């Protein structure tokens, strides 16, 4: 019995020793019992805004030894300040602080973060230092000039980095002052693509198209970073191209895109030259670009989206409902991406879409290529259609497959389709379906 008790005591002791701090204390190896110094730490952003992500007192702080096995964490900078100066074992440290919460791919507010390396703690001395947290994502904001608003009654504008981010702006959803969006961008993104359409007050459709590169900055020099990085702030402004003698006046194919980027290093705004896109969009003649082929009209390889005319039908009688509503997606250069996004005025339909995983959320945009969720939808409504495969040159997207669900939700439903081919040429269009009670 005595032997068993000794064995149980030994097991209990070993379990306690599995805690690194307890083991160090018992064995006399607590890092703080050796040579130590003091760290006096400040955290700041340099911003004076009042968002939820830039409240420095809420920033978690981590102090990690690089040549000493010691880590000190604080749930917030407020907790650190309350604790006062931090006692640390002598050594070299890396200090990190950031906005609370998850750094998401797309956010409605900026995310701040800062990292300070090679902070040396010397025996008996106080090291005073600061971690400056800067914006880690890229801010995209849309500006519609007074002339634009006076000229166009409706619009759909897509902004994408073709690397997982796409934002669609419409008058119905975003109004005249769209809210900015913040993207966590990959370091390889060098180009922002803008495309869409706007409808004049006279009912004419005008194409919006253009690309912007950091290397188009007037001050760009060979060897400079060509990628968009955290801290860059892009303001994309749209205005009609003026026709002399008219007010406000437009050219048939003309919408001017102006992009201003805030240069965080120089603390000033600089303008990026916008290259003409695949369907016009400014007053310059499109040429042969690195996106492949001769762009603009006359490019037989350019992708196209053939949609039926917008229509409406009665929920109760079905009057006006077509037998089908097929969208034909044509990509002579081969299909790379086809994204469908649904915008609806029906809260009930929106709630339904929120709960449906179709390889993504249709309210935010879903990739059709190789999408088994879309395959299941088609099968469920008795269609033999399937999602497209990469490289196909033509694909029929049966919008009518959604009639089974739309019939239950009166309102206006817009299907935004964005098509990209293997030469990275992108086009987009919108089909509007209105269901009356």
Q: Who has greater pLDDT, 365 or 268?
A: 365
Token readout for 130 is: 């600061």
Which CATH class name applies to 36-135? Answer: mainly beta
Q: What single DSSP character describes residue 57?
A: G
**Residue 306 CB coordination number (10 Å):** 11
Lowest mean pLDDT among 143-157, 192-206, 257-271: 257-271
- The arithmetic mean of pLDDT across residues 135-141, rounded, is 93
* pLDDT computed for residue 8 by the predictor: 39
188-224, pLDDT tens digit by residue? 888 898 988 888 888 888 888 888 888 887 777 777 7
Ranges 61-75, 94-108, 245-259, 260-274: which has the least confidence: 245-259
Q: What is the mean pLDDT of the chain?
A: 80
| pLDDT at residue 65 in the model | 95
pLDDT of residue 29: 61
Query: Which of the pair, 309 or 6, is modelled with greater confidence?
Result: 309
- Residue 314: the pLDDT is 83
Residue 266 confidence class, pLDDT cut points 50, 70, 90: low
| Res. 265 pLDDT band, cuts 50 70 90 | low
| Ordered DSSP codes for 198-242 | EEETTS-EEEEEEEEEGGGSTT--TTS--S--TT-EEEEEEEEPP
- The topology (CATH level 3) of 298-437 is Immunoglobulin-like (2.60.40)
Stretch 9-24: mean pLDDT: 40
pLDDT at 267: 61
Q: Which of 125-129, 257-261, 277-281, 420-424 has the lowest mean pLDDT?
A: 277-281
> How are beta strands 233-240 and 138-144 bridged, if at all?
parallel
Write down the pTM of the prediction: 0.57
Distances (CA, A) of 84 to 21, 39, 77, 288: 22, 9, 11, 62
Determine the pLDDT at residue 246. Answer: 46
pLDDT band for 244, please (50, 70, 90 cuts).
low
What is the share, in percent, of the chain residues with pLDDT greater than 70?
A: 81
Q: Where are the domains of the chain?
A: 36-135, 137-291, 298-437
Q: What is the pLDDT of residue 144?
A: 94
| Nearest in space to 204 (alpha carbons), one of 163, 251, 247 | 251
Which pLDDT belongs to residue 119?
Answer: 96
3-state secondary structure of 279: coil
The count of other CB atoms within 10 Å of the CB of residue 376 is 12
pLDDT of 380 strictly over 90: no
Q: Which residues does 392 contact at the CB level (< 8 Å), separation at least 6?
A: 331, 334, 335
pLDDT in tens, 167-195: 899 998 888 889 999 999 888 888 898 98
Question: What is the chain's alpha carbon radius of gyration, rounded to the nearest angstrom?
Answer: 29
Would you list the DSSP string of 380-408? HTT----PPPTT-SEEEEEGGGGHHHHTT
In Å, how far are 30, 50, 97 from 21, measured between CA atoms? 7, 40, 24
pLDDT surpassing 50 at residue 274: yes
pLDDT score recorded for residue 70: 95
User: Are both 36-135 and 298-437 of the same fold?
Assistant: yes
């Amino acid at each position: 019995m005595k032997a068993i008790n000794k064995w149980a005591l030994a097991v209990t002791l070993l379990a306690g020793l599995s805690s690194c701090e307890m083991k160090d204390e018992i064995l006399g190896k607590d890092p703080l019992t050796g040579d130590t110094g003091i760290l006096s730490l400040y955290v700041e952003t340099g911003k004076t805004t009042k968002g939820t992500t830039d409240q420095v007192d809420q920033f978690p702080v981590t102090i990690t030894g690089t040549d000493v096995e010691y880590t000190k964490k604080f749930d917030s900078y407020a907790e650190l300040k309350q604790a006062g100066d931090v006692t640390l074992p002598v050594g070299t440290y890396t200090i990190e602080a950031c906005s609370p919460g998850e750094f998401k791919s797309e956010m409605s507010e900026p995310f701040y973060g800062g990292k300070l390396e090679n902070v040396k703690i010397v025996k008996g001395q106080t090291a005073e230092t600061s971690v400056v947290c800067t914006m880690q994502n890229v801010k995209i904001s849309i500006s519609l000039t007074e002339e634009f608003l006076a000229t166009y009654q409706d619009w759909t504008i897509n902004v994408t980095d073709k690397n997982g981010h796409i934002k669609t702006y419409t008058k119905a959803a975003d109004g005249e002052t769209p809210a900015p969006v913040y993207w966590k961008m990959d370091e390889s993104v060098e180009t922002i693509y803008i495309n869409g359409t706007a409808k004049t007050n006279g009912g004419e459709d005008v194409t919006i198209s253009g690309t912007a590169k950091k290397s188009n900055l007037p001050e760009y020099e060979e060897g400079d970073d060509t990628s968009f990085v955290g801290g860059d702030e892009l303001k994309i402004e749209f205005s009609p191209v003026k026709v002399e003698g008219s007010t406000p006046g437009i050219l048939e194919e003309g919408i001017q895109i102006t992009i201003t980027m805030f240069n965080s290093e120089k603390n000033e705004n600089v303008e990026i030259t916008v290259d003409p896109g695949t369907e016009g969009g400014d007053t310059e003649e499109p040429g042969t670009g690195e996106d492949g082929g001769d762009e603009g009209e006359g490019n037989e390889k350019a992708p196209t989206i053939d949609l039926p005319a917008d229509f409406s039908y009665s929920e109760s009688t079905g009057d006006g409902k077509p037998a089908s509503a097929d969208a034909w997606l044509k990509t002579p250069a081969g299909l790379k991406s086809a994204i469908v996004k649904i915008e609806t005025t029906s809260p009930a339909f929106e709630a339904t879409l929120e709960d449906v995983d179709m390889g993504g959320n249709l309210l935010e945009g879903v990739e059709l290529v190789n999408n088994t969720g879309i395959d299941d939808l088609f099968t469920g409504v008795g269609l033999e259609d399937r999602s497209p495969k990469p490289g196909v040159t033509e694909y029929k997207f049966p919008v009518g497959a959604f009639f089974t669900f739309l019939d239950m939700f009166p309102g206006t439903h817009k299907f935004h389709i964005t098509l990209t081919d293997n030469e990275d040429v992108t086009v987009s269009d919108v089909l509007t379906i209105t269901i009356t009670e």
